[in-house]
Structure 1
Amino acid sequence: MKKTLLIVAFLCCVITSSKAQVIGVDVGDIAPEIDLPNTKGENVALSSLRGSLVLVDFWASWCGPCIKEQPLLLKLHNAYPDKLSIYGVSMDTKKPLWLAAIAKGKLPWTNVSDLKYWTSPVVGDYMLQSVPLNFLIDKNGIILAKNIHGKALEDMIQNQLAQ
């Protein structure tokens, strides 16, 4: 009887101490859903891109570092058109500036914004404090990396797609 109780107690400890996968913004978490309007006003859910590697890129037309990173994103988008999706989330509040930045940068990927910046629900969901900020998400919606830029981003995407 003691042996059985010890086994049951051990199993309870193992089961309750294992970390369940949660929705959050840490590496290993399930990325929170985003469902915002694109440039045509049609909502596009982040989850609609499941099945491919996804880079969620928080940016704004007035953010110099964001604009500076766009050529690399364009390079990655063109290099892996069927394996990598980019989901650009703009923190702009003025639609003409947002649309102009997309046109100027020739950004062909999904771009969304609710034009609310700090009052947007995604700010809290993704604990956004500044831009640029990005999250690399696997085909199942699991966060692989966050706030990764430049060569490190390029290398990680290449490594993920080589698997």
Structure 2
Amino acid sequence: MRALNHCVAPVCLFAALLTSALAGCGVKETPTGIDLQGEVEGFAPTSAIISRVTNQPYDQLVPLDTVDVLRGHFEWRCDTLPYDVYALSFVSESVSNENSSMYALLGDGRVKMRVARDREGVLSTRSAGSEVQAQYERFMEEYRKVSRRDEIDSLERSFFSARERGDTAAALRIKEASKPLYTESAMQIQRYLRERLKDTARNFFTLYLYYTHDLATATIERLGQLDSIRARLGEWKGTEEQGSRLMRSALLRCDLASRSVEGALAPEIVGVRPNGDTLRLSSLRGRWVLVDFWASYCGWCRQELPLLRAAYERYGKAGGVSFVSVSLDKNDAAWRRALEEEKMPWDNIRIEGDLASRTITEYNISGIPLAILIDGEGRIARRGIRGAEMIEVLAGL
């Protein structure tokens, strides 16, 4: 026994010396949890609200924590949250916090992040310590260039400025001039994303890319589409620990989509009319109903309105089809102003808060405008009908 003790002691001493030497060389245990070290440049916020992003296309956030920004520095640590998409919203006492929000892909380990704000209030980041976040930053920088976001932002500022000062003619000229730019931007974005989605690497960033910029915005109308989506998700099987929340969200979207495809019973919609009355979709049972999801800030939605107006005059007002436009506007005043400008004589309702989130989820809404035709039994007959196709479908009833 004594001989054994003599053998163990040197081993223990060697292990202790090795541990000490490795620590001195900077070799540490694998970090667990999020350790964000940040500094800001170009603005002076007093605090930052940290949120988890549950639906990026619709900016749906779940607040998690608030941290102080002291002399341009902030820190946030959390040992319990996994790799995920987070939002940082900066609050300032002297400057409006509009546009002072940005996304980040954060996970285990320390990330040093510099957040800069330009003259237009747009935030950009440069990080060290996380290859996933670095990939995201490079992607967003290129995405902004490809989408011609700076040009679009400039036109939108001019449009809203003209509208605020009551110069309707100038606002309309800007609106017309911007249409080709929006079209070109959308085409460039689609081409860029198609190339990026060919990336064969299977990590959290590529899962984020597929979920946020493909699956989350995909139009799923028929059950057959779900097979290929589930097969694609299977390619990330080995990364479920990192991308678990995104993977669960993706699989949930497939499950929900199966309930809102053509042939499924349409979920209830409850909204408020401009006069304050409540309208329920179920109250229209027995009639064909065209439900149009839109928002006042959606340029594509408003471009579709002349055709929707013509369809209403022919098949709604005179043909017996009920038309209901469902606004996803968060701003009640903006919605009412759009109704006044666009002259929409059919039923209009607005949904917000939990009702909006539930409806977006239950109807598997990945983008607007979205028109859904519901038959007299309350079942979804067609999804995603637009343009000339809408007229053809209504003519065939």
Provide the TM-score with structure 2 as the length reference.
Answer: 0.33
Q: Does residue 35 of structure 1 match 2:270?
A: yes
| Aligned counterpart, 2:323 | 86
| Aligned counterpart, 1:128 | 365
287, 290, 298: which is aligned to 1:52?
287
Cα contact 1:94–1:115 (8 A) shared by 2: no
Query: When you count helix as a share of all residues, which structure comes out higher?
Result: 2
Cα contact 1:91–1:116 (8 A) shared by 2: no
Cα contact 1:95–1:115 (8 A) shared by 2: no
What secondary structure does 1:87 align onto? strand
| Aligned counterpart, 1:144 | 381
371, 374, 391: which is aligned to 1:154?
391
Residue 115 of structure 1: CA displacement?
3.2
* 1:103-148: CA deviation from partner (whole Å, max 9, x where unpaired): 1111011111123399532111111122111211112211111011
| Aligned counterpart, 2:101 | none
Residue 47 of structure 1: CA displacement?
1.4
Q: Which stretch shows the higher mean deviation, 148-157 or 41-50?
A: 41-50
Cα contact 2:262–2:382 (8 A) shared by 1: yes
Provide the TM-score with structure 1 as the length reference.
Answer: 0.78
- The residue identity in structure 2 corresponding to 1:79 is R
Q: Does residue 74 of structure 1 match 2:309?
A: yes
- The residue identity in structure 2 corresponding to 1:101 is A
- The residue identity in structure 1 corresponding to 2:298 is C
Residue 50 of structure 1: CA displacement?
2.0
| Aligned counterpart, 2:259 | 24
Higher normalized contact order (CA 8 Å, seq sep 6+, divided by chain length): 1
- The residue identity in structure 2 corresponding to 1:83 is G
Unaligned 5+ segments in structure 1 are 1-22
In structure 2, relative to structure 1, the CA distance for the partners of 1:93 and 1:70 (3 Å cut) is same
Q: Does residue 102 of structure 1 match 2:339?
A: yes
Residue 152 of structure 1: CA displacement?
0.7
Cα contact 1:137–1:145 (8 A) shared by 2: yes
| Aligned counterpart, 2:249 | none
| Aligned structure 1 segments of 4 or more residues deviating by more than 2 angstroms | 114-120
Matched residues, number: 138
> Max radius of gyration: which structure?
2
- The residue identity in structure 1 corresponding to 2:300 is P
| Residues in 1 aligned to 2:339 and 2:353: alpha-carbon distance in whole angstroms | 18
| Residues in 2 aligned to 1:110 and 1:120: alpha-carbon distance in whole angstroms | 21
| Residues in 2 aligned to 1:119 and 1:50: alpha-carbon distance in whole angstroms | 21
Identity rate, percent: 36
| Aligned counterpart, 1:6 | none
Cα contact 2:372–2:383 (8 A) shared by 1: yes
116, 123, 136: which is aligned to 2:353?
116
| Aligned counterpart, 1:18 | none
What secondary structure does 2:396 align onto? helix
In structure 2, relative to structure 1, the CA distance for the partners of 1:115 and 1:83 (3 Å cut) is same
- The residue identity in structure 2 corresponding to 1:155 is E
- The residue identity in structure 2 corresponding to 1:86 is F
| Residues in 2 aligned to 1:50 and 1:158: alpha-carbon distance in whole angstroms | 20
- The residue identity in structure 2 corresponding to 1:129 is S
| Aligned counterpart, 1:4 | none
Unaligned 5+ segments in structure 2 are 1-257
| Aligned counterpart, 1:12 | none
